[in-house]
Amino acid sequence: MSDKKGKKRSAVADVVTREYTINLHKRIHGVGFKRRAPRAVKEIKKFAMKEMGTNDVRVTPLLNKHVWSKGVRNVPFRVRVRLARKRNEDEDAEEKLYTLVDHVPIDTTFKGLETVTVEADE
């Protein structure tokens, strides 16, 4: 048996910002036309929850516009996002941290892009 029985990684410990490429195409495969863009936004939130370990995920209007840019049916196959885990300034909030999901514009191709930890500029 493991000695680390009751321990799990704490998301509260650090504020960090990373860039990811999310393959939306595989996440909305088989979804009906009128539900594709809303499901894509939900899948982005689910991805951010899993990667950053916070239940409070906020999507910027810029990312939402990008997902909806080709309409409800034709969601972009991939999207590059910046996930920023930040401290919640509201003192009566139940979560200590939240994740802000922002769009990172890509001018050429997604080939060769990897997950990158971004240095805090605040």
DSSP 69: T
Q: What is the pLDDT of residue 5?
A: 56
5-15 per-residue burial string, b: 16 or more CB within 10 A, e: under 16: eeeeeebeeee
Q: What is the pLDDT of residue 4?
A: 53
Q: What is the pLDDT of residue 119?
A: 81
Segments of the chain with pLDDT less than 50: 1, 12
Q: What is the pLDDT of residue 64?
A: 98
Is residue 83 within 8 A of residue 20, CB to CB? The reply is yes
Q: What is the pLDDT of residue 92?
A: 84
Element (H, E) at 100: strand 97-103
Is residue 37 within 8 A of residue 53, CB to CB? The reply is no
Q: What is the pLDDT of residue 120?
A: 64
Integer Cα distance of 50 and 56 in angstroms: 11
Q: What is the pLDDT of residue 60?
A: 98
Q: What is the pLDDT of residue 91?
A: 83
Element (H, E) at 67: helix 61-67
Q: What is the pLDDT of residue 44?
A: 98
Q: What is the pLDDT of residue 14?
A: 81
Q: What is the pLDDT of residue 99?
A: 96
